[in-house]
């Protein structure tokens, strides 16, 4: 995953303007987002809580669609239904709610099914043509009666345009919306995503909806999605917690001509890789985005796992947050992973770099006072506001390069530091 273009924003308005420019929906798609309120059955509250309902819908049902879901063995009801929906001949859209994730409640599947049935009636479709998708608090029941009352308004506000409102609508603890796009042939790919915590190892508390108007066969688009997800959404980490609700859905209206499969896959990879890094950048309490590139591993999976071992080390994370180049922690995390997984590792062949500066090679650290000061300045130059403004100020990363030897396995993974903002957000999440 690479994002080579430097992006700098000075205000929320600048960022949203950029999203509007890149967010024009592919042909054949409409979206709507509405706000509603509800009283949770599980917790007494003095005032009703806010919820957003979002709808992504095709003008006509399509047989060209695919999806990827969490591997968590305690999945939400929308994931259970979504997996079954992959067997449908055609689909027409997705209804999404934030605030409540609809996981393992007694009536979870029935609640989502009821929503789909009312949506189908309102749109003149079959309930089998829609995916449900929910994100938010795990353990609460959907306020399904309140949601059903709002479906006519949700359908009534469907409109073409950009996907920015959809990107806003699906947010939970995200500080700002995330949207990426690419022009391919005479068509487009547009994707939105949300996610800020419970990120890793297989996707995240992450929803991503991908729209395209490029014609393609169903099996082809599913194969491409699988490959792209593996090297993008499955190659990021914030906190090592895999969610119950992760979902990526792709749909094509097939209103534009085909393009070569490789060309489409490269464009989709770029869109999803940029969105993946956007998710990390907006993760709860993120003060630095960290990119770990690993070479010389036995294969791709090994390289990715070594990279994630560095990203997931609390000691590495906290050092980076403090702008402290405590580089011994990086080497320790690599040796820890190799030792606990019985992997061969020759420290004489390891080379480590931060921001292009060599910090370890030929079995020994390569440090001096001037280099320490340069590394501190380098980390400071990559700082983000860990309490998060309503826009990303830049897309710079802390670059850590790891060379393990001469084998051909390589991977690039993205993660973030660990700040007091992450602890604060997750200790007070339901308030």
109-125 pLDDT, tens digit per residue, is: 999 999 999 999 999 99
**How far is the C-alpha of 34 from the C-alpha of 53, rounded, in Å?**
5
Band of residue 284 on the pLDDT scale cut at 50, 70, 90: confident
**How far is the C-alpha of 403 from the C-alpha of 415, rounded, in Å?**
18
Residue 388: the pLDDT is 65
Whole-model pTM: value is 0.89
Q: Is the pLDDT of residue 431 over 90?
A: no
**How far is the C-alpha of 426 from the C-alpha of 197, rounded, in Å?**
9
Residue 51: the pLDDT is 97
**How far is the C-alpha of 243 from the C-alpha of 197, rounded, in Å?**
9
Q: Is the pLDDT of residue 422 over 80?
A: no
CB 34 within 8 A of CB 154: yes
Known catalytic residues? 205
Quick one: what percent of the chain has pLDDT higher than 90?
A: 78
**How far is the C-alpha of 343 from the C-alpha of 305, rounded, in Å?**
12
**How far is the C-alpha of 117 from the C-alpha of 94, rounded, in Å?**
13
């Amino acid at each position: 995953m690479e994002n080579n273009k430097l992006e700098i924003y000075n205000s929320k308005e600048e960022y949203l303007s950029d999203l509007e420019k890149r967010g024009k929906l592919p042909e054949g798609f409409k979206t709507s987002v509405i706000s509603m309120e509800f009283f949770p059955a599980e917790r007494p509250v003095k005032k009703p809580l806010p919820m957003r309902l979002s709808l992504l819908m095709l003008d006509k049902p399509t047989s060209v669609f695919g999806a990827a879901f969490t591997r968590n063995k305690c999945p939400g009801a929308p994931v259970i239904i979504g997996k079954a929906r992959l067997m449908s001949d055609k689909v027409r859209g997705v209804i999404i709610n934030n605030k409540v994730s609809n996981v393992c409640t007694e009536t979870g599947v029935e609640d989502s099914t009821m929503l789909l049935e009312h949506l189908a009636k309102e749109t003149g479709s079959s309930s089998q043509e829609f995916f449900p998708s929910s994100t938010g608090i795990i353990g609460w029941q959907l306020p399904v009666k309140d949601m059903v009352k709002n479906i006519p308004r949700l359908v009534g506000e469907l409109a073409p345009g950009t996907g920015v409102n959809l990107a806003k609508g699906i947010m939970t603890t995200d500080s700002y919306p995330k949207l990426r796009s690419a022009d391919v042939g005479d068509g487009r790919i547009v994707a939105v995503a949300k996610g800020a915590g419970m990120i890793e190892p297989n996707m995240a508390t992450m929803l991503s909806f991908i729209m395209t108007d490029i014609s393609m066969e169903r099996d082809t688009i599913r194969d491409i999605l699988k490959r792209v997800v593996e090297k993008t959404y499955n190659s990021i980490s914030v906190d090592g917690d895999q969610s119950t609700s992760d979902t990526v859905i792709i749909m094509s209206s097939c209103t534009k001509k085909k393009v070569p499969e490789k060309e489409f896959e490269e464009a989709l990879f770029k869109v999803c890789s940029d969105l993946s890094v956007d998710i990390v950048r907006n993760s709860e309490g993120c003060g630095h985005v960290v990119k770990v590139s690993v070479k010389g591993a036995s294969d791709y999976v090994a390289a990715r796992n070594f990279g994630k071992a560095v990203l997931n080390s609390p000691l590495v994370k906290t050092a980076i947050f403090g702008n402290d180049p405590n580089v011994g922690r990086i080497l320790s995390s690599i040796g820890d992973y190799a030792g606990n997984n019985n992997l061969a590792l020759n420290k004489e062949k390891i080379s480590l770099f931060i921001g292009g500066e060599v910090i370890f090679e030929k079995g020994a650290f390569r440090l001096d006072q001037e280099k320490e000061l340069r590394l501190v300045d380098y980390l400071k130059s990559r700082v983000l506001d860990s309490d998060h403004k309503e826009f990303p100020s830049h897309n710079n990363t802390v670059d850590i390069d790891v060379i393990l030897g001469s084998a051909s396995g390589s991977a690039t993974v993205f993660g973030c530091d660990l700040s007091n903002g992450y602890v604060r957000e997750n200790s007070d999440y339901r308030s």
